[in-house]
Amino acid sequence: MHEQGDIDEDTGSLIRRLVFVVVVLAIVLAAAGTAWASNWLIVLHPSSNGEAQARAAPTAPTGVSAACTSSSAKTVKVSWSAVTKATTYTIYDATTSASGTYTSIASGVATTSWTSATLSSANYWFEVAAYTGTNWVGPKSAATGESTISSSGCVQP
């Protein structure tokens, strides 16, 4: 036969056991919940992309000039101002007039000046175009003043 004290002791023991189970369960569930939060699968919508933009082609070089390297040499140095984002330059010349037909005589020039090889006797005008990369080319510059090559050398009329 159970006495009142025995009943109280049994109840207390039961309560302690229940508390222990609850605490353990809470710990387990908390850990599981944290794991679930980090394992969510986020599916990307099809055709997820973004927008970029390209700049314009390089502009025409400015400040283009031609100068005899010396009065006795048959070579000319062409100079110009750098163009934003240009990687190389191409030099053209004409031999009839400043508004004549121009022919490419040097390409892939990475600096802002270029010196010709020995030129044949003739009158020369030069223009320069800027390139960005292999295929982006800007308009040609204005023509330089005339450079005259003769048997005795070079003069700027």
For the purposes of burial, counting CB atoms within 10 Å of the CB of 152, is it exposed (0-12), middle (13-18) or buried (19 or more)?
Answer: exposed
Interaction residues for other proteins, span 100-139 (CB under 8 A):
132-137
Distance, in Å, from the CA atom of 157 to the CA atom of 148, rounded to the nearest integer, reads 7
Chosen residue from 1, 3, 4, 53 binding other proteins by CB under 8 A: 53
- Nearer to other proteins by Cβ, of 79 and 138: the residue is 138
Encode 78-97: b = buried (16+ Cβ within 10 Å), e = exposed.
bbbeebeebebbbbbbbeee
CB of 109 to other proteins, least distance (A): 16
CA–CA separation, 47 vs 131, rounded Å? 34
CB of 58 to other proteins, least distance (A): 9
Smallest distance, Å, CB 104 to other proteins?
A: 16
* Closer of 79 and 132 to other proteins (Cβ): 132
Asked if 99 interacts with other proteins (CB under 8 A), we say no
Applying CB under 8 A, does 18 fall inside the site for other proteins?
Answer: yes
